[in-house]
Amino acid sequence: MKQGWESKKLGEVAKIGAGNSAPQDKSLFTNGMYPFFRTSDIGKIRIGGVSTAVDLLNDQGIKKLKLYPKGTILLPKSGASTFLNHRVILDVDGFVSSHLATVVCNEDLLDKRFALYYLIGIKAQDLIQDHSYPSLKLSDIKEIPIPIPPLEEQKQIVAKLDQCFEAIDKAKANAAKNLENAKELFQSKLNEIFSQKGEGWVEKKLGDVCSLEYGKPLPKEDRDPDGLYPAYGANGIKTRTDKFLVNGRSIIVGRKGSAGEINYTEDKFWALDVTYYTKFDSNILDLDFLYYLLSLLKLPKLAKGVKPGINRNDVYAITIQLPPLKEQSKIAIEMKHLENITNSLESKYQQELNSLEELKKSILQKAFEGEL
């Protein structure tokens, strides 16, 4: 530790607590004006404050509830969102859910933004005792060791981190926009190609040129992670098996659960009972063309029910424009080329985002080791 710094437990330099149980009476939120922050309001890790809440309590609703002051640090302490490691700081006074831990710094000893930056680097996974139900104990949060430089040095470190993170966040925003643009480029070209109607193109119902066949259950004893063939569920390969249901290329369409998701397969496979697989006449329809066509149709929007499912008759009823077979193949080759370019761009921009996130972690580590 850097000379002149101390090591303290968080509970020694901040008051650690938890929010209030959420009022259950909906009338307490009618015409509300006082923000009630929940884990869902925390959203994402960010260094700035949070001042908006979906739910607003009225005068009756805030009776007997504790008000937390502006500058309180919030972090999820129970439920699935605990693993997301979100940390924010209130920039208004507000009321807080009991699923959130609260950290109110003794500002004679600990700058609140210095503490916020430090807590961003503390992973909930390292503190949680029982991962079957993610929950942080307040006593464990109090025991978190935190380096304490002199207060003026804390503020200087915060200023440097603010400057570094502002530049990184701008770079991340540019990379994220480039990633979005790459995806939109492919979708735009897909729309352009399939919206045209050239010579020899005919209007068909999708059910006239292909069928969706039901997948089948695969007994437990036939499932083998090292099996020869993939067994597809609604959103991809679920397991493997030495048996196959279909001998050849096809497209698997999610029927239940991840309904409408599509997967392309080149070889023998098993389609599980939560899927459909395509059958068609290869003298009429090119499989690669069909894959890009189904991608364009966004089949998940057809899903219905509590456990989303797709009725194949709804798919069959979709009207499509079908070019001659040779032109289908030509279109599929063009789309594959564009897809490869798009995937390369997406990989590049995603790697850039990952690198920037790693840079953030590296800067934080150096900051709290006194090396910034």
Q: For 318, phi and psi rounded to 5 degrees? A: -70, 130
Q: Locate all alpha helices (DSSP H) within 144-271, ordered by sequence.
A: 151-195, 206-209
Q: What is the pLDDT of residue 242?
A: 97
Distance CA 311, CA 317 (A): 11
- At residue 240, φ and ψ (nearest 5 deg) are -135, 165
What's the structural domain count of the chain? Answer: 3
Rounded to whole angstroms, the maximal C-alpha distance in the chain is 81
Q: Decide: helix, strand or coil at residue 70.
A: coil
pLDDT of res. 135 = 82
Torsion of CA 359, 42, 106, 166, to 10 degrees: 30
Residues 160 and 275 in one domain: no
Residue 299 covered by a domain: yes
Q: 3-state DSSP call for residue 327?
A: helix
Helix ranges restricted to H, the chain: 10-13, 39-42, 112-120, 138-142, 151-195, 206-209, 287-297, 312-316, 325-367
Q: Which of 270, 10, 311, 309 is nearest to 138 (CA)?
A: 10
Question: What pLDDT is stored for residue 48 in this prediction?
Answer: 63
State whether 25 and 83 are in the same domain: yes
Each of the 372 residues of the chain gets a pLDDT tens digit; together they read: 788 899 999 999 999 999 999 899 999 999 999 999 998 888 754 556 777 788 999 999 999 899 999 999 999 998 777 878 889 999 899 999 999 999 999 999 999 999 999 999 888 888 876 666 778 889 999 999 999 999 999 999 999 999 999 999 899 999 999 989 988 888 888 888 888 777 889 999 999 999 999 999 999 999 999 999 999 999 999 999 999 999 989 999 999 999 999 999 999 999 999 999 999 999 999 999 999 999 999 999 999 988 889 999 999 999 999 999 999 999 999 999 999 999 999 999 999 999 998 998 999 999 999 888
Residue with tokens 């302490």: 77
Q: 15 in helix, strand or coil? A: strand
CATH of the domain at 331: 1.10.287
Let me know whether 16 and 136 are in one domain: yes
Domain match, 13 and 138 both: yes
Please check whether residues 213 and 255 belong to one and the same domain.
yes
| Residue 1 domain-assigned (yes or no) | no
Q: How many CB atoms lie within 10 A of CB 67?
A: 12
What's the pTM?
A: 0.71
Same domain, 285 and 338: no
Cα–Cα distance for residue pair 193/244, rounded to 1 Å: 35
Query: Does residue 32 lie in a domain region?
Result: yes
Asked if residue 213 and residue 180 are part of one domain, the reply reads no
Q: Is 260 inside a domain boundary? A: yes
Helix (H, G, I), strand (E, B) or coil at 311: coil
Q: Same structural domain for residues 211 and 316?
A: yes
Q: Quick check: 243 and 295 in contact, CB under 8 A? A: no
CATH number of the domain where residue 75 is located: 3.90.220.20
Shared domain for 105 and 233, answered yes or no, is no
Positions of E strands within 25-85: 34-37, 49-50, 55-57, 73-76
Together in a domain, 174 and 305 = no
For residue 351, tell me if it sits in a domain: yes
Asked if residue 296 and residue 154 are part of one domain, the reply reads no
Statement to judge: residues 144 and 13 lie in one domain:
yes
220-226: Cβ within 8 A, 24+ apart: none
- What was the pLDDT predicted at 185? 85
Residue 274 lies in a domain: yes
Cα torsion angle, 116, 118, 119, 123, sign: positive
Indicate whether 64 belongs to any domain: yes
Domain range for 211: 202-322
Instruction: Give how far Cα 77 sits from Cα of 93, 134, 239, Å.
Output: 20, 8, 35
CA separation for the pair 120, 360 (Å, rounded): 10
Alpha helices, H only, 29-150: 39-42, 112-120, 138-142
Written as six digits, the tokens of 285 are: 């329809």
